[in-house]
Each structure stands twice: as C-alpha cells, then as structure tokens.
Chains A and B, each alone.
Chain A
C-alpha cells in the first residue's frame, strides 16, 4: 500500500529562499508549494492541511507569526506542523513562535541540509525513487 506524498508549504517572498527550499528538497518525495505572501497562502490554507508549513517572519503583507496565529484559530490547523525561517533572530520572536507551537526556529541563512533534515524529520518523506 503506497502512502500519500507529504505536502510542504513555504510562505516566503524571497526568490533565493524559494530556490533554497526547492533545491534542498529536490530528492524528497514531497509536494512543495511556495507562496510569496500571507494573502496568497491564505485561501490554500483555509482549504487544505499540509503536513508541514515553513513560514518566514517578514512577509510583504503580514508578519509570519501573525499568519500562524490566524491559522491556529482554524480548527483544521490547531496542530499543523510549522517551522519559522527568519532573517530576524531575536529571543522575543522565538518566544512568540514557541507559544504558537512552532517546532523549529531557523535563522537565515541556513544550509540546504538544514532544510532537508527538518522536512524529513517532520514529514518522514522518503527519497524519490529515481534518486534512490
């Protein structure tokens, strides 16, 4: 019986971060979609519960932690696994993230392996069959 492929959502307006997310997960059997703003991600998140969301704090329209707070109000997203990737790295933000149930707070810049590792850790994604 084949299990369904994990879905991973990124919310980050930085093109380089989008590349980093794509390259770090290119060998993983996951569905990755990167939205560039909270507004763009919101309709998707209202309708879907991904296995993992990776959110940046400084988004063009909204603070990533505010997006998570809104998300936690939705019954489907009380437990959705979330990771923060941030160009800001301050204790106050880490504290708020922790209160919102964020699993990891990863300061930018990060290595490709750091992202690969957390995606595998939280989604149990396997390698794509052609890269095995």
Chain B
C-alpha cells in the first residue's frame, strides 16, 4: 500500500472569501491535493493552489505535478498566475482539462495571463509544461488512475474519478444535480399525459447517468454551494443545493461526502448550520452516509 493523503487547500466557490468570519471553513477557492508517495495530483487551481505552491517550494522530493481542471471559470484557475513552481526551471507540470485537444487547453489556461489583466504571460513559466490530449481510458499519475466525465455546469465541465489504494475518490466541484427534475417541477402544467410519461423516463435516465459517476465512491467531494432557500433563487446557476448533493450521494451509495464549493456569502456560523441540518437529513433517511463540510487544511488518509 502506498502512503496516500488528500488535502483541501481551497473549498470556496465563486470567489475567495478571506473574511475573519469565514476562516474556520477557509476562504480560498477550489484546490485539492492528492499525494501518493511522491506522486502529486492537484484538482483545480483556484487561490488554494497558491499556498500549496509555496509549500511545495520548501521540499525537494517532488518536481513533477499533474494538474487536472474541472473547467476554466475563474475560481478554478485564478491561482495559477501565482503558482510559484510554474515559474521554476526544474519543475514539470502536466495540465489536463476540458477542451478539444491540447491547444485549446493551453489557450484556456493562458488566456487569463494577458495584458491588461496580468503583467506576464505563461511564456514566462520556466517549468516544463505539457497540455494533455484527452484519453478515453483515462490517465495514470503514479498509482492513481484518473478518469473524467461531463457534469451539469455551464460550458464543458468535468467531474473526475480517482482510484488509489483500492479506494475511489470522486471530485465534482461544480455540478448542479437533479437539474432536469427540478426544471420539470416548475413546468409540469405544460405537458400532456403522453409527454409526462416520456419525461419521467428522461428524468430517470438523467438520474442514472448522474449516479454512474458517483456510484460506490468511498469519498465524494461535491458542489454544495446553496441552502434550499438560496437554491430556489439560483436554480440554473450550475450549482447544487447541499440537500440534493446529500440525496444524490445516498442514492449512489457513497460512503463519505465532503460538501464543497461553499458559497462565499456563508460564514462559519452558516456553515455550522449546514453541517447540523445535513446530519439530520441523513439520520432521518436512515442512511450510513457520513457527511463533512470540507474545510481548508483538512487532511484525509487514503
């Protein structure tokens, strides 16, 4: 067995929330490190990748990194211009994310480092950088097996499955679950009986394909941006209500769920209420699911 750990470096969605009222949970945007022996996988490059980069500069066993991006919204890439290893000549960084081929991946990553938005471009990165071609059977990072699927979010957005030490970790930072089911509830009067039958099938198919990615995961890190009240106002914004994330995790027979991509408007008190409500929901359903609030600095042994 390899020595494997997962660490949360950024757990916020949308934008960083470095407010004193929020620091119990953490203020940085999406970034999760999975380290297996000397193999390093980084899921997303939000502001959380900045302190991770600084930490990496203090050691010398690791010089190779694999960065996988769910998509290119700011909260998932905005740490890269400040990621010190990229500017160092003896490092090697492989990037993968959505896009039709390596050129587009490079283009999407480079686009934020351009005048007048940023003083230097990715050509100043001295590390060897590679942009990877999508592989239908996934990637390998040391002993980690990585595969990807499309999820429900604006633009092409991936969810990743990482298998290591006999455990399955699923990282789906941005995913609006049960979207179609909820849309139908809002439009139910528009359809005839025949259409309702077809639509019910459609909802079932959608739900099944959603569950496929999460099925039997030991650890699911999932979008839980909104409370039910806020989700009511923000249906169709591409993020989940934590209640739906929990329901989906239970349906998919997930063991441990880490609620992730927290709304920057929620302070530590609000997040505590979410944890409490989540536990109540799970208890009510008689499920064995364990639900955590992902917090910056939290480390899981794999």
Chain B residues closer than 8 Å to A87, beta-carbon distance: 152, 179-180, 202, 206
Q: Tell me how far the C-beta of B204 lies from the nearest C-beta in chain A, rounded to whole angstroms.
A: 8
Interface residues of B in 156-174 (CB under 8 A from A): 156
Interface residues of A in 64-120 (CB under 8 A from B): 65-66, 69-70, 87-93, 96, 107-109, 111-112
B3 at the A interface (CB under 8 A): no
Chain A residues closer than 8 Å to B238, beta-carbon distance: 90
A45 at the B interface (CB under 8 A): no
Contact B236 A109 (CB under 8 A): no
Interface residue from A15, A20, A63, A96 paired with B150 (Cβ < 8 Å)? A63
Contact A91 B156 (CB under 8 A): no
Interface residue from B100, B136, B152, B206 paired with A66 (Cβ < 8 Å)? B100
B183 at the A interface (CB under 8 A): yes
B128 at the A interface (CB under 8 A): no
* Known interface pairs A16-B201, A92-B155; A61-B206 also in contact (CB < 8 Å): no
A-B contact count (CB 8 A): 72
Q: How many angstroms from the CA of A15 to the CA of B205 in the assembled complex?
A: 8
A123 at the B interface (CB under 8 A): no
Q: How many angstroms from the CA of A65 to the CA of B195 in the assembled complex?
A: 26
Contact A91 B184 (CB under 8 A): no
Q: Can you give 29 A-B contacts (C-beta < 8 A)?
A: A14-B202, A14-B206, A15-B201, A15-B205, A16-B198, A16-B201, A16-B202, A17-B202, A23-B194, A58-B150, A70-B100, A87-B179, A87-B180, A87-B202, A87-B206, A88-B152, A88-B179, A90-B236, A91-B154, A92-B154, A92-B155, A93-B155, A108-B183, A109-B184, A109-B191, A109-B198, A111-B190, A111-B191, A112-B195
Chain A interface residues (CB < 8 Å from chain B):
14-17, 19-20, 23, 58, 61, 63, 65-66, 69-70, 87-93, 96, 107-109, 111-112
Chain B interface residues (CB < 8 Å from chain A):
98, 100, 136, 150, 152-156, 179-180, 183-184, 187, 190-192, 194-195, 198-199, 201-202, 205-206, 209, 236, 238
